[in-house]
Structure 1
């Protein structure tokens, strides 16, 4: 699907992308869900990306696998980003997967699955050490 190629190319270098590309990827009635929040409609998704790109210093994705099943697409990825308030601005990498539903050559639904702790909480002073301790304790 052509929209999947556009999606992959957009996310590979998200930090340098023009948000005008979003119109070629997402439908007007898109629903975008991640572990933090839900955005409904193209305008809400556009605002989400505007805010995301203002807050981070760098954000790129390595795409490791794409699986298409009819109009549903699963994309495995690793996100690499730098945020000035997390891990002293050092690079953070988080693995995840996106479920996409394509309708009329655009993505009308996207749900991202990833470990919010490894993305955010583990890199916040005090909370991070508690989360890491709990994870280690549960693993043993």
Structure 2
């Protein structure tokens, strides 16, 4: 079976220094996808997280719920970070598949970039909120 608990502990305490341990949790050819990235391999996945640390203030993941079934799991989380002195929180979920050795072979993040991020930003927020209202059914 996988080591979901260890992976989630690593995420909950992730720092630029602990990022060096990524290969303990991700297989060499793992696939990672989120609304902005679609990469393969540990070096590329590490680059996504290095970019996160370089471009956000005090990023951290708060793990909420987890569901495990066989060699896969789904986890809900909130990503907290700052941007230009303003605090943000993005809620989302991750579908994870584990290889025979317990390391992640597929990681797909699901979150609504428009609702969770863009409409919170000062410049993009008003037009995104207007569009969302325009397309809402009721």
Structure 1 residue 97 displacement after superposition: 0.6
Contact 2:27 2:42 in 1 (8 A): yes
1:123 maps to: 120
How far apart, CA to CA, are the structure 2 residues paired with 1:38 and 1:72?
Answer: 19
- Does 2:66 correspond to 1:70? no
For residues 97 and 17 of structure 1, do their structure 2 counterparts lie closer, same or farther at Cα, with a shift above 3 Å needed?
farther
For residues 139 and 15 of structure 1, do their structure 2 counterparts lie closer, same or farther at Cα, with a shift above 3 Å needed?
farther
Q: TM-score, normalised by structure 2?
A: 0.87
For residues 78 and 17 of structure 1, do their structure 2 counterparts lie closer, same or farther at Cα, with a shift above 3 Å needed?
farther
Contact 1:57 1:82 in 2 (8 A): yes
For residues 92 and 123 of structure 1, do their structure 2 counterparts lie closer, same or farther at Cα, with a shift above 3 Å needed?
same
1:94 maps to: 90
Deviates more, 1:104-113 or 1:7-16: 7-16
Deviates more, 1:94-103 or 1:121-130: 121-130
Unmatched 5+ stretches in structure 1: none
1:22 maps to: 22
How far apart, CA to CA, are the structure 1 residues paired with 2:74 and 2:88?
Answer: 23
Q: Which has the higher helix share?
A: 1
Aligned residues: 136
Q: TM-score, normalised by structure 1?
A: 0.86
